[in-house]
A = this chain, B = another copy of it.
Protein backbone atom coordinates (compact mmCIF):
# COMPACT_ATOMS: atom_id res chain seq x y z
CA UNK A 1 0.00 0.00 0.00
CA UNK A 2 1.44 3.33 -1.09
CA UNK A 3 1.13 6.74 0.59
CA UNK A 4 -2.29 8.40 0.29
CA UNK A 5 -2.71 10.54 -2.82
CA UNK A 6 -5.03 12.97 -1.00
CA UNK A 7 -5.53 13.65 2.68
CA UNK A 8 -9.26 14.11 2.40
CA UNK A 9 -11.59 13.17 -0.45
CA UNK A 10 -15.26 14.24 -0.49
CA UNK A 11 -17.77 12.28 -2.58
CA UNK A 12 -20.89 14.26 -3.47
CA UNK A 13 -23.64 11.90 -4.55
CA UNK A 14 -23.41 8.28 -3.39
CA UNK A 15 -24.46 6.05 -6.29
CA UNK A 16 -22.69 3.32 -8.24
CA UNK A 17 -19.60 5.33 -9.19
CA UNK A 18 -19.08 7.07 -5.82
CA UNK A 19 -19.55 3.88 -3.83
CA UNK A 20 -17.15 2.02 -6.13
CA UNK A 21 -14.64 4.86 -5.74
CA UNK A 22 -14.89 4.62 -1.98
CA UNK A 23 -14.17 0.88 -1.94
CA UNK A 24 -11.37 1.29 -4.49
CA UNK A 25 -9.81 4.13 -2.48
CA UNK A 26 -9.93 2.00 0.66
CA UNK A 27 -8.48 -1.00 -1.17
CA UNK A 28 -5.53 1.12 -2.35
CA UNK A 29 -5.08 3.27 0.76
CA UNK A 30 -5.37 6.27 -1.53
CA UNK A 31 -6.86 8.82 0.89
CA UNK A 32 -6.46 9.68 4.54
CA UNK A 33 -10.20 9.86 4.84
CA UNK A 34 -13.27 9.95 2.66
CA UNK A 35 -16.35 12.01 3.46
CA UNK A 36 -19.65 11.74 1.67
CA UNK A 37 -22.95 13.44 1.05
CA UNK A 38 -26.12 12.44 -0.76
CA UNK A 39 -29.21 14.56 -1.21
CA UNK A 40 -31.53 11.73 -0.24
CA UNK A 41 -31.79 10.95 3.46
CA UNK A 42 -32.48 7.30 2.67
CA UNK A 43 -29.24 7.10 0.69
CA UNK A 44 -27.29 8.68 3.56
CA UNK A 45 -28.79 6.20 5.99
CA UNK A 46 -27.90 3.28 3.75
CA UNK A 47 -24.36 4.60 3.38
CA UNK A 48 -23.94 4.86 7.15
CA UNK A 49 -25.35 1.37 7.65
CA UNK A 50 -22.97 -0.30 5.17
CA UNK A 51 -19.93 1.77 6.15
CA UNK A 52 -19.78 3.69 2.89
CA UNK A 53 -17.50 6.71 3.64
CA UNK A 54 -15.66 7.38 6.84
CA UNK A 55 -18.22 10.07 7.62
CA UNK A 56 -21.48 10.86 5.90
CA UNK A 57 -22.67 14.45 6.35
CA UNK A 58 -26.16 15.88 6.10
CA UNK A 59 -24.99 18.77 3.94
CA UNK A 60 -22.66 19.08 0.97
CA UNK A 61 -21.06 22.12 2.59
CA UNK A 62 -19.90 20.08 5.60
CA UNK A 63 -18.73 17.20 3.40
CA UNK A 64 -16.43 19.38 1.29
CA UNK A 65 -14.96 21.43 4.13
CA UNK A 66 -11.19 20.81 4.29
CA UNK A 67 -11.37 18.34 1.40
CA UNK A 68 -8.35 18.26 -0.90
CA UNK A 69 -10.39 16.57 -3.62
CA UNK A 70 -14.12 16.97 -4.20
CA UNK A 71 -15.71 14.50 -6.61
CA UNK A 72 -19.09 15.41 -8.07
CA UNK A 73 -20.88 12.07 -8.59
CA UNK A 74 -24.36 13.35 -9.39
CA UNK A 75 -26.28 13.20 -12.70
CA UNK A 76 -24.90 15.57 -15.30
CA UNK A 77 -27.96 17.81 -15.09
CA UNK A 78 -27.40 18.38 -11.36
CA UNK A 79 -23.70 19.31 -11.57
CA UNK A 80 -24.23 23.07 -11.82
CA UNK A 81 -26.54 23.30 -8.81
CA UNK A 82 -24.18 21.22 -6.69
CA UNK A 83 -21.19 23.31 -7.73
CA UNK A 84 -23.03 26.48 -6.77
CA UNK A 85 -23.89 25.00 -3.38
CA UNK A 86 -20.40 23.84 -2.45
CA UNK A 87 -18.33 26.63 -4.03
CA UNK A 88 -18.27 28.94 -0.96
CA UNK A 89 -17.09 26.07 1.26
CA UNK A 90 -14.15 24.82 -0.81
CA UNK A 91 -10.67 25.01 0.63
CA UNK A 92 -8.17 27.13 -1.29
CA UNK A 93 -5.99 24.83 -3.38
CA UNK A 94 -8.59 22.07 -3.47
CA UNK A 95 -9.28 20.17 -6.68
CA UNK A 96 -12.84 19.70 -7.95
CA UNK A 97 -13.51 16.86 -10.35
CA UNK A 98 -16.56 14.97 -11.56
CA UNK A 99 -17.47 11.62 -13.09
CA UNK A 100 -20.09 12.75 -15.60
CA UNK A 101 -20.58 11.02 -18.96
CA UNK A 102 -20.69 14.36 -20.79
CA UNK A 103 -17.89 16.89 -20.43
CA UNK A 104 -18.59 20.12 -22.34
CA UNK A 105 -21.88 20.71 -20.55
CA UNK A 106 -20.39 19.94 -17.14
CA UNK A 107 -17.51 22.31 -17.76
CA UNK A 108 -19.93 25.08 -18.77
CA UNK A 109 -22.19 24.40 -15.79
CA UNK A 110 -19.58 23.97 -13.05
CA UNK A 111 -16.67 26.17 -14.14
CA UNK A 112 -18.27 29.59 -13.53
CA UNK A 113 -18.88 28.81 -9.85
CA UNK A 114 -15.29 27.90 -9.02
CA UNK A 115 -12.88 30.58 -7.85
CA UNK A 116 -9.31 30.94 -9.08
CA UNK A 117 -8.01 29.35 -5.92
CA UNK A 118 -9.62 26.03 -6.80
CA UNK A 119 -8.43 23.56 -9.47
CA UNK A 120 -11.01 22.08 -11.83
CA UNK A 121 -10.14 18.79 -13.55
CA UNK A 122 -13.19 17.12 -15.14
CA UNK A 123 -13.01 13.35 -15.55
CA UNK A 124 -15.03 10.42 -16.82
CA UNK A 125 -14.43 6.80 -15.80
CA UNK A 126 -15.66 4.48 -18.58
CA UNK A 127 -17.07 1.88 -16.25
CA UNK A 128 -20.47 1.00 -15.02
CA UNK A 129 -23.07 -1.66 -14.59
CA UNK A 130 -26.82 -1.54 -15.05
CA UNK A 131 -27.25 -1.22 -11.29
CA UNK A 132 -27.39 2.01 -9.33
CA UNK A 133 -27.46 3.29 -5.77
CA UNK A 134 -25.10 3.21 -2.78
CA UNK A 135 -25.15 -0.57 -2.45
CA UNK A 136 -24.20 -1.26 -6.07
CA UNK A 137 -20.53 -0.27 -5.81
CA UNK A 138 -17.53 -2.56 -5.64
CA UNK A 139 -13.77 -1.94 -5.46
CA UNK A 140 -12.97 -3.68 -8.76
CA UNK A 141 -15.27 -1.60 -10.99
CA UNK A 142 -12.44 0.48 -12.46
CA UNK A 143 -9.79 -2.23 -12.75
CA UNK A 144 -8.31 -2.15 -16.24
CA UNK A 145 -10.99 0.27 -17.47
CA UNK A 146 -10.28 3.69 -18.92
CA UNK A 147 -10.69 6.95 -17.08
CA UNK A 148 -10.58 10.02 -19.32
CA UNK A 149 -9.29 13.26 -17.81
CA UNK A 150 -10.54 16.37 -19.59
CA UNK A 151 -8.49 19.29 -18.25
CA UNK A 152 -9.96 22.74 -18.87
CA UNK A 153 -7.94 25.70 -20.10
CA UNK A 154 -5.46 26.59 -17.43
CA UNK A 155 -5.82 23.37 -15.44
CA UNK A 156 -2.87 23.09 -13.06
CA UNK A 157 -0.49 20.34 -14.23
CA UNK A 158 0.17 19.23 -10.67
CA UNK A 159 -3.53 18.93 -9.93
CA UNK A 160 -4.02 16.85 -13.09
CA UNK A 161 -1.11 14.57 -12.19
CA UNK A 162 -2.46 14.05 -8.69
CA UNK A 163 -5.91 13.10 -9.97
CA UNK A 164 -4.30 10.75 -12.48
CA UNK A 165 -2.46 9.05 -9.61
CA UNK A 166 -5.76 8.53 -7.78
CA UNK A 167 -7.44 6.91 -10.79
CA UNK A 168 -4.43 4.75 -11.50
CA UNK A 169 -4.45 3.73 -7.85
CA UNK A 170 -8.09 2.69 -8.27
CA UNK A 171 -7.00 0.38 -11.09
CA UNK A 172 -7.90 2.50 -14.12
CA UNK A 173 -5.87 3.33 -17.22
CA UNK A 174 -5.85 7.09 -17.69
CA UNK A 175 -5.96 9.12 -20.90
CA UNK A 176 -6.43 12.85 -21.46
CA UNK A 177 -8.84 14.21 -24.05
CA UNK A 178 -10.38 17.46 -25.22
CA UNK A 179 -13.98 17.96 -24.04
CA UNK A 180 -15.66 18.19 -27.46
CA UNK A 181 -13.79 15.20 -28.79
CA UNK A 182 -14.71 13.27 -25.65
CA UNK A 183 -18.38 14.03 -26.19
CA UNK A 184 -18.25 12.82 -29.80
CA UNK A 185 -16.35 9.62 -28.98
CA UNK A 186 -18.78 8.82 -26.19
CA UNK A 187 -21.77 9.56 -28.42
CA UNK A 188 -20.49 6.77 -30.66
CA UNK A 189 -19.34 4.24 -28.10
CA UNK A 190 -21.91 4.74 -25.39
CA UNK A 191 -24.67 7.33 -25.73
CA UNK A 192 -26.18 6.33 -29.07
CA UNK A 193 -25.92 2.58 -28.34
CA UNK A 194 -27.81 3.20 -25.11
CA UNK A 195 -30.55 5.14 -26.88
CA UNK A 196 -30.91 2.39 -29.46
CA UNK A 197 -31.10 -0.29 -26.81
CA UNK A 198 -33.75 1.69 -24.94
CA UNK A 199 -35.72 2.04 -28.16
CA UNK A 200 -35.58 -1.64 -29.07
CA UNK A 201 -36.73 -2.65 -25.62
CA UNK A 202 -39.56 -0.14 -25.87
CA UNK A 203 -40.65 -1.57 -29.23
CA UNK A 204 -40.80 -5.05 -27.78
CA UNK A 205 -42.93 -3.78 -24.93
CA UNK A 206 -45.36 -2.07 -27.30
CA UNK A 207 -45.94 -4.98 -29.63
CA UNK A 208 -49.27 -6.46 -28.68
CA UNK A 209 -49.07 -9.49 -30.95
CA UNK A 210 -45.98 -10.67 -29.12
CA UNK A 211 -46.66 -10.95 -25.42
CA UNK A 212 -44.30 -9.57 -22.81
CA UNK A 213 -43.79 -13.04 -21.42
CA UNK A 214 -42.70 -14.32 -24.82
CA UNK A 215 -40.25 -11.49 -25.23
CA UNK A 216 -38.86 -12.21 -21.83
CA UNK A 217 -38.75 -15.99 -22.19
CA UNK A 218 -37.07 -15.99 -25.56
CA UNK A 219 -34.71 -13.10 -25.02
CA UNK A 220 -31.48 -15.09 -25.01
CA UNK A 221 -30.42 -14.28 -28.55
CA UNK A 222 -29.48 -10.62 -28.86
CA UNK A 223 -32.32 -8.86 -27.12
CA UNK A 224 -31.08 -9.79 -23.66
CA UNK A 225 -27.96 -7.68 -24.09
CA UNK A 226 -30.17 -4.75 -25.05
CA UNK A 227 -32.30 -5.09 -21.94
CA UNK A 228 -29.22 -5.03 -19.77
CA UNK A 229 -28.11 -1.77 -21.34
CA UNK A 230 -31.66 -0.41 -21.18
CA UNK A 231 -31.87 -1.11 -17.45
CA UNK A 232 -29.39 1.64 -16.63
CA UNK A 233 -30.33 4.59 -14.45
CA UNK A 234 -33.07 6.69 -16.15
CA UNK A 235 -32.08 10.03 -14.60
CA UNK A 236 -28.45 9.68 -15.51
CA UNK A 237 -29.31 8.81 -19.10
CA UNK A 238 -31.95 11.49 -19.52
CA UNK A 239 -29.27 14.02 -18.55
CA UNK A 240 -26.70 12.50 -20.88
CA UNK A 241 -28.96 12.91 -23.91
CA UNK A 242 -30.10 16.40 -22.97
CA UNK A 243 -26.55 17.62 -22.40
CA UNK A 244 -24.79 15.82 -25.26
CA UNK A 245 -27.54 16.69 -27.68
CA UNK A 246 -25.52 17.75 -30.74
CA UNK A 247 -23.16 14.78 -30.89
CA UNK A 248 -25.93 12.29 -30.13
CA UNK A 249 -28.17 13.72 -32.85
CA UNK A 250 -25.31 13.65 -35.34
CA UNK A 251 -24.54 10.00 -34.66
CA UNK A 252 -28.24 9.14 -34.68
CA UNK A 253 -28.52 10.72 -38.11
CA UNK A 254 -25.72 8.55 -39.43
CA UNK A 255 -27.20 5.52 -37.76
CA UNK A 256 -30.63 5.88 -39.36
CA UNK A 257 -28.98 6.53 -42.72
CA UNK A 258 -27.07 3.24 -42.53
CA UNK A 259 -30.05 1.39 -41.10
CA UNK A 260 -32.20 2.51 -44.02
CA UNK A 261 -29.56 1.23 -46.45
CA UNK A 262 -29.61 -2.18 -44.77
CA UNK A 263 -33.40 -2.13 -44.63
CA UNK A 264 -33.45 -1.48 -48.35
CA UNK A 265 -31.03 -4.39 -48.92
CA UNK A 266 -33.40 -6.66 -47.02
CA UNK A 267 -36.40 -5.41 -48.98
CA UNK A 268 -34.69 -5.83 -52.35
CA UNK A 269 -33.03 -9.13 -51.39
CA UNK A 270 -29.49 -7.79 -51.77
CA UNK A 271 -27.68 -10.57 -49.93
CA UNK A 272 -24.23 -9.51 -51.13
CA UNK A 273 -24.61 -6.09 -49.48
CA UNK A 274 -25.71 -7.66 -46.19
CA UNK A 275 -22.92 -10.23 -46.17
CA UNK A 276 -20.25 -7.65 -46.93
CA UNK A 277 -21.55 -5.36 -44.19
CA UNK A 278 -21.70 -8.12 -41.56
CA UNK A 279 -18.21 -9.31 -42.47
CA UNK A 280 -16.82 -5.83 -41.94
CA UNK A 281 -18.44 -5.38 -38.52
CA UNK A 282 -17.00 -8.71 -37.40
CA UNK A 283 -13.51 -7.24 -37.80
CA UNK A 284 -14.20 -4.49 -35.27
CA UNK A 285 -15.01 -7.09 -32.69
CA UNK A 286 -11.65 -8.74 -33.33
CA UNK A 287 -9.99 -5.37 -32.81
CA UNK A 288 -11.65 -4.98 -29.44
CA UNK A 289 -10.48 -8.38 -28.31
CA UNK A 290 -6.95 -7.64 -29.51
CA UNK A 291 -7.04 -4.29 -27.69
CA UNK A 292 -7.68 -6.20 -24.47
CA UNK A 293 -11.04 -4.54 -23.78
CA UNK A 294 -12.82 -7.90 -23.75
CA UNK A 295 -12.18 -11.60 -24.02
CA UNK A 296 -13.11 -13.97 -26.80
CA UNK A 297 -15.11 -16.05 -24.32
CA UNK A 298 -18.58 -16.70 -25.69
CA UNK A 299 -20.48 -14.93 -22.96
CA UNK A 300 -23.66 -13.88 -24.60
CA UNK A 301 -26.51 -16.29 -24.62
CA UNK A 302 -25.18 -17.99 -21.50
CA UNK A 303 -23.62 -17.43 -18.12
CA UNK A 304 -20.99 -20.14 -17.87
CA UNK A 305 -19.07 -20.76 -21.07
CA UNK A 306 -16.76 -23.72 -21.38
CA UNK A 307 -13.30 -22.73 -20.25
A202 close to B (CB within 8 Å): yes
Residues in B with CB closer than 8 Å to A237 are: 274, 278
Query: By DSSP majority rule, is chain A's interface helix, strand, loop, or mixed?
Result: helix
A158 close to B (CB within 8 Å): no
Q: Is the CB of B254 within 8 A of A207?
A: yes
A156 close to B (CB within 8 Å): no
Q: What separation, in Å, do the CA atoms of A161 and B191 have in the docked complex?
A: 47
Nearest chain-B residue to A300 (Cβ)?
B228
A225 close to B (CB within 8 Å): yes
Residues in B with CB closer than 8 Å to A31 are: none
Q: What separation, in Å, do the CA atoms of A226 and B298 have in the docked complex?
A: 14
A234 close to B (CB within 8 Å): yes
Q: Is the CB of A184 within 8 A of B209?
A: yes
Nearest chain-B residue to A136 (Cβ)?
B298
Q: Is the CB of B284 within 8 A of A204?
A: yes
Map CB proximity to B onto A52-89 as digits: 1 under 8 Å, 0 otherwise. 00000000000000000000000001000000000000
Q: Is the CB of A126 within 8 A of B258?
A: no
Nearest chain-B residue to A239 (Cβ)?
B271
A251 close to B (CB within 8 Å): yes
Most chain B CB inside 10 Å of its own CB: which residue of A216, A242, A251, A275: A216
Q: What separation, in Å, do the CA atoms of A219 and B186 have in the docked complex?
A: 9
Residues in B with CB closer than 8 Å to A129 are: 298-302, 305
Q: Is the CB of A248 within 8 A of B266?
A: yes
Q: Is the CB of A231 within 8 A of B285?
A: yes
A114 close to B (CB within 8 Å): no
